[in-house]
Structure 1
Amino acid sequence: MTRGALPLEDGARRRWLKQLAIGALTAGMGKAVGAAAPGTIRVGMTPAFLNDQYSLLADWRAYLQAKLGMPVEFVQRDRYRETMDLLHLGKLDFAWLCDYPFVFLKDLVRLLVVPLNQGRPYYRSLLLVGAADRRRNSMADLAGGVFAFADPYSNTGYLAPRYRIRELGRDPNTFFRQTYFTWSHRKVIEAVSKGFADGGAVDSFVWDTLEKVRPDVTQGARIIERSPEYAFPPFAAHRAVPAEMFERMQKVLIGMSQDESGRLLLTRLNLDGFIVGRRQMYDSVAKMMAAFGEI
């Protein structure tokens, strides 16, 4: 399957896919990024973050502005590629990226911090089927079915499940009868829950967060496989960010766990804090990308 391709379906699934396409189109309207006000720090956010938590983003922005003493703007995008393009254009200073784009961007970005998820800087890809589906209990059982991917630049929602199929000795391009992208991990869960896909793969952080804040979203699906651990989606800095700004932002993010306001925000983010990481933490992702000839 080529990146971004959507299969033609009939019935309810086709109508649902049409809604996804319309949603993606309207979400992109009015999102042109112009020149920032002088001194404004621009932080890109991808679907690794739950984009519907607007009040949380507003409070986090206010916190960062107070700590940095500078204006901060969150730039949200619904597709990983859009955030990557903004980094290429030099329109972002920092970004919370999926680990796959982080490796893909190579020297364009520097590792700033790695979030702590349940006390550790790791997460997994979760393989899902419908809650009532007791026939499928592994990736092998999904052969010939319909599968929902999150985004073509998502590790847990695209790269990892395809690599899992390779481990089975099968071709990811022919393993499923049909596949499509939902453009968000939450919508993968919804697709599986509503029966519009036999299976799907999602980010464990998004799943765990939704279980806390929207258990009605996750109750229609169940986990049948968990991947090995991968280093958590990192915060990265554009290579043009001056060293002094890099160090200030890194200090502020790491210091969130040291003050009450920061700890409250971390709780709402479903994170425990941030640490200084090493680029080598993402070698397992690079290995999977290399298997597909991507690096």
Structure 2
Amino acid sequence: MKNFLRLTLAVATLMFAGLTHAQQVLRVSAIPDEAPTELQRKFKPLGSYLEQKLGMKVEFVPVTDYAASVEGLVNNKLDMVWFGGFTFVQASVRSNGKVIPLVQRAEDEEFKSVFITTDKSINRLEDLKGKTFAFGSESSTSGHLMPRYFLLAANINPDSDMKRVAFSGAHDATVAAVGGGRVDAGVLNISVWEKLLSQGKVASTLRVFHTTPGYYDYNWSVRSDMDPALRKKISDAFLALNPNDAQGKEILALQRASRFIPTRTENYASIEKAARNAGLLK
């Protein structure tokens, strides 16, 4: 009996050691709503900061598309993901509610999308009828779901009222498609638009002709089975970011955030409703 107890204790110790070792790396990813090089650039200072605060290695794991970010978190291949509102809802539904949104930028309480064009005949949403148009990714909140929701509310069905609808795959790609004349108009999130404007990467002929009302969008999410102590450390690290110190200022600027605030699943109920109404959530 003593030998059995010793063996059981040894196995349990080895299992615990294995779990402890596995938790030495926090695997982080983000929906690919911008170019991969830009996502890596934005994450690098944040990753270093989280390593300091958590006392563990933080690794950025790029994914090929929005669906991969959902599957990666749900299937335990990722520990934390930067989701758009719609991809968070998809992950929550896919995992039967086992994904928790931790924090969001203050800006994500009232996020917006902008409709852009170079066509002088387009000045309101109704003018998009009969035109060619580009959304971002099919799973994008600000590049597809909410713009589609607002178009339908304005009695414009993109699938029947527009000449052709394309999906660029990313916000910056939408700007390139519209600016390059491949489509008459497009829509993207206001944050990327303002960043590209500030960097001088927007052609002078491109303009915003419509801005949507605000809605909840991006957040950092984790699985519900994450160690609660680690979850709190991560949340506290984001909430502690301060624009008045050099490190915090750099990270917040790259994340296009004034600060991070707590969030909760209930904030995304309207996005889930919009997705179901649009037939985008099965």
TM > 0.5 between the two?
yes
How many residue pairs match? The answer is 255
RMSD (Å) for aligned C-alpha atoms: 2.1
CA distance in structure 2 between the aligned counterparts of 1:218 and 1:147, rounded to whole angstroms? 18
Give the superposition deviation at 1:279: 2.4
1:189 maps to which of 160, 175, 181: 175
The answer on whether the counterparts of 2:171 and 2:189 sit within 8 Å (CA) in structure 1 is yes
CA distance in structure 2 between the aligned counterparts of 1:223 and 1:67, rounded to whole angstroms? 40
How far does the alpha carbon of each residue in 1:127-183 deviate from its partner, in whole angstroms, 9 at most, with x for none?
Answer: 1112xx221011210111111111011112111222223213343321211111111
Identical residues among aligned pairs (%): 25
CA distance in structure 1 between the aligned counterparts of 2:121 and 2:34, rounded to whole angstroms? 32
Look up the equivalent residue of 1:231 and give its one-letter code.
Y
2:59 maps to which of 73, 78, 84: 73
1:178 maps to which of 160, 164, 180: 164
The answer on whether the counterparts of 1:129 and 1:198 sit within 8 Å (CA) in structure 2 is yes
CA pair 170-271 structure 1, distance change in 2 beyond 3 A: closer
1:237 maps to which of 222, 225, 235: 222
Pairwise mapping of residues 5-154 of structure 1 onto structure 2 (< 5 A)?
39-48=24-33, 51-53=36-38, 54-106=40-92, 107-117=97-107, 121-130=109-118, 133-154=119-140
Larger radius of gyration between Structure 1 and Structure 2:
2
1:246 maps to which of 217, 231, 235: 231
Question: What is aligned with 1:29?
Answer: none
The answer on whether the counterparts of 2:142 and 2:217 sit within 8 Å (CA) in structure 1 is no
CA pair 129-78 structure 1, distance change in 2 beyond 3 A: farther
**TM-score, structure 2 as length reference:** 0.83
- Unpaired segments ≥5 residues, structure 2: 1-20
Q: Which has the higher helix share?
A: 2
1:207 maps to which of 178, 189, 193: 193
The answer on whether the counterparts of 2:129 and 2:156 sit within 8 Å (CA) in structure 1 is no
**1:284 and 2:274 aligned:** no
User: What SS does the corresponding residue of 1:113 show, helix, strand or coil?
Assistant: strand
The answer on whether the counterparts of 1:78 and 1:184 sit within 8 Å (CA) in structure 2 is no
Question: What is aligned with 2:5?
Answer: none
User: What SS does the corresponding residue of 1:179 show, helix, strand or coil?
Assistant: strand
CA distance in structure 1 between the aligned counterparts of 2:86 and 2:60, rounded to whole angstroms? 21
